[in-house]
Structure 1
Amino acid sequence: MKAVVLNKFGEPINFRIEKIASRELKACELKINVKATSVNPVDLKIRSGVAETFAPEFPAVLHGDVAGIVEEAFPGSSFSKGDEVYACAGGVKGLSGALCESMIVDQKLVAKKPKQLSMAEGAALPLVSITAWEALVDRVNVEPGQTVLIHGAAGGVGHIAVQLAKALGAIVYTTASTSEKMQMGKDLGADYAINYKEMSVEDYVKHYTNGKGFDVVFDTVGGDNMEKSFQAVRNSGQVACIVGSGEHDMTPLYIKSATYHGVLMLLPMLTNEGREHHGEILKRIAKMVDHKVLKPVLDGEKFSFSSIGEAHTHLESGKAIGKVVAVNDL
């Protein structure tokens, strides 16, 4: 079958369309006819070699997010041929990814696609919605009335987290760099949008919380922004972060008796532990989408598998709003 493969780490130009061998289905697996995928920051890091630890072997087929139609299911499966499904189920060490005609996946990672969504929209959701769920529900257990600050309103995880936190009953604050991205955050349910380029952490903590800080801070940016998250949380509050690289002084959390949660969404795929939970999260997300509680926002630029390098370049540019999606044209 045809696939977009990577034979070495580096720039997006290294992607190549090649023929690769398919394999037989094993127990508890599904074969999905791939219709679409989306680009996540981890895909960029794997492609470039920054996240070489997570990379599949060369020739590598990248991308975890997939939406498509079940071609084949193992006997006794809860899925049937023809089911429209979505998942984040590969593109990492030990698991081939979605940039191919057909993807073989562990059915524990899969759920039926939200009926309200196209294949492209469905492919935008798995990684970001699972990540937001693990942070806001599994780790910090957001409760109604809590103040929740979400960094990155227009990002992939951020725009889902805003909607999820609001659905959980939180008072939602979000940060963004432009008026357009701030408005997007508010359109998705944020009660307050903060331009972090115009307002310091000290200023917005004072303005919105009387200097006390937020109950929960969800950092989808990482890097230097982690220190800002530590500064913004209240005494005995909670910080969740999805980008934990680099060296950070944890003293600000210690003196506030605050809790830090690291969220690595890839872990069940890498370790084969807890995969069922990802499938369950996607079932719940699908219900929320079909009841119009949550929706993905797709970037305006259109890409296909044969132009996946351009999709990577676009996400790396920082100009994308929402999710960058590519449809299968192999």
Structure 2
Amino acid sequence: MQAIEIHETGEPSVLQLVERQRPEITTPTEMLVKLAAAGVNPVDTKIRRNGAMLAAGFPAILGCDGAGVIEAVGAAVTRFQPGDAVWFCHGGLGGAAGNYAEYRVIDQALAQPKPPALTMSEAGAAPLVLITAWEALHDRARIAAGQQVLIHGGAGGVGHVAIQLAVAAGARVCTTVSSAEKAALAQALGAERCINYREENVENAVLEWTNGRGVDIAFDTIGPAVFQQTIPLVAHYGDLVTILDPSAALNLKEARMRNLRLSLTLMLTPQLRNLPTALAHQGDILNRCAALVERGALRIVVSETFPLAQAADAHRQIELGHVTGKLALVLN
């Protein structure tokens, strides 16, 4: 099979197209999946630059997200059969088991039925961002109907699905964007107020939208500076969640005065720490999201697809910044 393999850290050029033996089922609960698409995420570029996150290290096949059709199943597989379409978020953190490849062996417990309403490219690009946004809004911030929610980067991979998950929960959404085109997308996805941070003062806009009270929930998908700047935009006793390291240099005096609940979310933790119960919960999240997709309450925006051989171009695109929605590799 063809795969994209990495042997050392570096620029996108270290991603090499190679021929490798097709993986084989080795336990009774495993399945062989012929991949149709794999998501490309910022974490992939960080591993490429900084090194593997698992001890298996390099050489490695990157790619956490995948979608495809089952070709063969182990003797104890009961949930699926050959011909079923599945999606999942697993692998790609070190060693051979990533999804930048034509085939992948995965345990049945880690895959879920692909929503029929999604194309393979959409399904392959979606799991990591869906789980991330769900864990941030539902598991960490405990979102409720009627709340006002600020989502930074509303046209990005995580941001564009976070808007929809918040709206589906009955919340009102305000988001930050960098252009009129991205504002139009965010509004189409359900955002009530779109703030172009290049043209408007974000603090003034948020406080005006909330009549000076601040939002009930703020979700940072950008980084430490934005996390710090968001603290005074959250209502007293509100929630501020980030998917990134907020930095040890944070000044939390105002957060303390506001009695904010500060939360961190890293959806890769169940893989990195081998937490089966948490992995099962993430599977449940995908199924809940699939139900939203099927009723038309959630869509995945894939702004560009690349052939497997052009994985390096996809990495370059991500590292330029400001990608709308998601990028995906497509495999024939």
**How does the TM-score come out when normalised to structure 1?**
0.94
- Does the 8 Å CA contact 1:55/1:92 hold for their aligned counterparts? no
Aligned to 1:295: 299
Q: Which runs of 5+ in 1 are unaligned?
A: none
- Does the 8 Å CA contact 1:35/1:119 hold for their aligned counterparts? yes
- Does the 8 Å CA contact 1:213/1:232 hold for their aligned counterparts? yes
Aligned to 1:65: 65
| Aligned amino acid, residue 164 of structure 1 | L
Per-residue CA deviations over 1:98-130 (Å, capped at 9, x if unaligned) read 011211123222111110111111112100001
Aligned to 1:272: 274
Tell me which moved more, 109-118 or 242-251.
242-251
1:317 paired residue among 301, 315, 320:
320
Aligned to 2:82: 81
Please give the secondary structure, in 2, of the residue aligned with 1:260. strand
Deviation at 1:284, TM superposition (A): 1.3
Deviation at 1:55, TM superposition (A): 7.4
Aligned to 1:137: 138
Please give the secondary structure, in 1, of the residue aligned with 2:81. coil
- Across the aligned residues of Structure 1 and Structure 2, the Cα RMSD in angstroms comes to 1.6
- Paired with 2:233 and 2:207, the residues of 1 have a C-alpha distance of 10
- Paired with 1:306 and 1:93, the residues of 2 have a C-alpha distance of 20
When residues 227 and 214 of structure 1 are mapped into structure 2, their CA distance, relative to the original with a 3 A threshold, is: same
Aligned to 2:251: 249
- Paired with 2:28 and 2:256, the residues of 1 have a C-alpha distance of 47
Tell me which moved more, 87-96 or 310-319.
87-96
- Paired with 2:136 and 2:81, the residues of 1 have a C-alpha distance of 32
When residues 223 and 27 of structure 1 are mapped into structure 2, their CA distance, relative to the original with a 3 A threshold, is: farther
Structure 1 position 305 matched with structure 2 position 331: no
Q: Where do 1:113-152 residues align within 5 Å?
A: 113-152=114-153
- Does the 8 Å CA contact 2:195/2:202 hold for their aligned counterparts? no
Tell me which moved more, 267-276 or 5-14.
267-276
Tell me which moved more, 57-66 or 90-99.
90-99
Aligned to 1:204: 205
Deviation at 1:199, TM superposition (A): 2.4
Deviation at 1:56, TM superposition (A): 4.8
Aligned to 1:153: 154
Deviation at 1:160, TM superposition (A): 0.2
Which aligned runs of 4 or more in structure 1 are off by greater than 3 angstroms? Answer: 51-56
Per-residue CA deviations over 1:67-104 (Å, capped at 9, x if unaligned) read 10112222232111111000111101467100112111
Per-residue CA deviations over 1:268-297 (Å, capped at 9, x if unaligned) read 111221111111111111111111110001
| Aligned amino acid, residue 154 of structure 2 | A
- Paired with 1:31 and 1:17, the residues of 2 have a C-alpha distance of 21
Per-residue CA deviations over 1:22-61 (Å, capped at 9, x if unaligned) read 3433243222111101111111111111x64357521110
- Paired with 1:283 and 1:2, the residues of 2 have a C-alpha distance of 30
- Paired with 1:74 and 1:250, the residues of 2 have a C-alpha distance of 52
Q: Where do 1:177-256 residues align within 5 Å?
A: 177-247=178-248, 248-256=250-258
Equivalent pairs, count: 327
Aligned to 1:327: 330
When residues 319 and 236 of structure 1 are mapped into structure 2, their CA distance, relative to the original with a 3 A threshold, is: closer
Q: Which runs of 5+ in 2 are unaligned?
A: none
- Does the 8 Å CA contact 1:25/1:31 hold for their aligned counterparts? no
Deviation at 1:2, TM superposition (A): 2.5
- Paired with 1:95 and 1:129, the residues of 2 have a C-alpha distance of 24
| Aligned amino acid, residue 6 of structure 1 | I
